Amino acid sequence: MARPTKASIDLAAFRHNYRVAKTQSPSSQAVAIIKANAYGHGAIELAHALPEADAFGVACIEEAIELRESGIKQPILLLEGFFEESELELIRQYDFWTAIHNPEHIDALERQPVSSKISVWLKLDSGMHRLGFTPQTYPAAFQRLSALPQVNHIVHMTHFACADELEKSMTHAQLQVCDATFANLDAHACSFANSAATLAHSASHIEHHGGYTRPGIMLYGADPLSAPNSASQQLIPVMTLSSKIIAIRDVPAGDAIGYGERYRCSHNMRIGTVAIGYADGYPRHAQDGTPVLVDGIRTSLVGRVSMDMLTVDLTHIPDAHIGSSVELWGKTIKADEVARYCDTIAYTLFTGITRRVHKEYIEG
């Protein structure tokens, strides 16, 4: 590995964050959400690093099979259910749990051999309007599933649209829809809470809502809440994205740096070139001023991000040299902070890391 661009993944931090999720809701099981290759962190490695996980959640059967084939024994939930009827055979074979979010899913289950016993998570659209049965159609769907010999357990499931925004009343409204809809439908368990709700909406998982939480982003140490919160303060960032300085130059006042002359030097500056760019997943739309850490000292991005490189201000870091270490995000500069300078969220930063970035797994 000659090019120094890498993502270090702290497995101890990942386990710690999972324990935070469990502590938030001690009577619930926690489905560790590791879809999209564990939000870019490496699903197989992370799943094996968390033997205590109650279950894992993924977006599709390809992701689920990869985990099972790698030796993962815990239940694996398909969060969006199946996309084709032919997957049901595999769901049975590999013993996956599947979401059921439309009538076609139930039709397909009905056509399965009665010897199959599949655990299903019946999804209610409690207001997000993306997936699930409406409150009007949910009870009939539940009754239909309950009567099917092909169905094992049924879990009531919903998803929140605004759990990250504590000032909004939407989560409360969605919970009321859930309470009203599920009142007389006796299911195996309930599952409502994503990371934000796990940390900030205890009514969605404690009390009579015990069952399964579904923490995702919090497991990777990013803050799921839009405003600082004591619960999310306990999280430890899992990914450190780093590289090195590969060139340094002095640039006179008035000259510009990089493509499009986006950044013009207001004074004589010392500029470092770093071996990471948008083809590694560092966002091209990062603004001038986006924080970067060089040899442990905070500085900022200057100029447009290129495909393989970016440029940073070293004027106030005289000891910086070729080979100096550069942290793009990690435990000091949080991905959440970088995301704000890029008009995005930590989710897209993590999932955007490309294959070219070497991943290294460490313990703390």
Ligand X SMILES: *Cc1c(COP(=O)(O)O)cnc(C)c1O
Each residue 157-186 as x (binds ligand X by CB under 6 A) or -, in order, gives: --x---------------------------
Q: How far is the CB of 302 from ligand X (least distance, A)?
A: 32
Q: Is 35 a catalytic residue?
A: yes
Among 15, 209, 214, 304, binds ligand X (CB under 6 A): 214
Residue type, 227: A
Spell out the residues 6+ positions from residue 95 whose beta carbon is closer than 8 angstroms to its own: 75
Contact positions with ligand X (CB under 6 A) in 37-96: 79
Q: Give which of 256, 198, 206 is closest to 232, Cα–Cα.
A: 198
Is 282 among the residues known to form the active site? no
Binding window for ligand X (CB under 6 A); candidates: 22-30, 174-182, 208-216, 245-253: 208-216
By C-beta, is 141 or 217 nearer to ligand X? 217
Q: Cβ of residue 16: shortest distance to ligand X, in angstroms?
A: 16
Chain residue whose CB lies nearest ligand X: 216
Query: In the set 132, 216, 272, 283, which binds ligand X (CB under 6 A)?
Result: 216
Does 310 bind ligand X (CB under 6 A)? Our answer is no
Which is catalytic among the residues 6, 18, 22, 35? Answer: 35
What is the DSSP code string of 303-347?
S---SS-EEEE-TT-TT--TT-EEEEESSSS-HHHHHHHTTS-HH
**C-alpha triplet 262, 268, 274: angle, nearest 5°:** 55
194 binds ligand X (CB under 6 A): yes
Give residues with Cβ within 8 angstroms of 314, minimum separation 6: 245, 248, 270, 271, 272, 294, 299, 320
* Token pair of 246 as six digits: 């590969």
For binding to ligand X (CB under 6 A), which residues are involved? 33, 35, 79, 159, 194-195, 214-217, 224
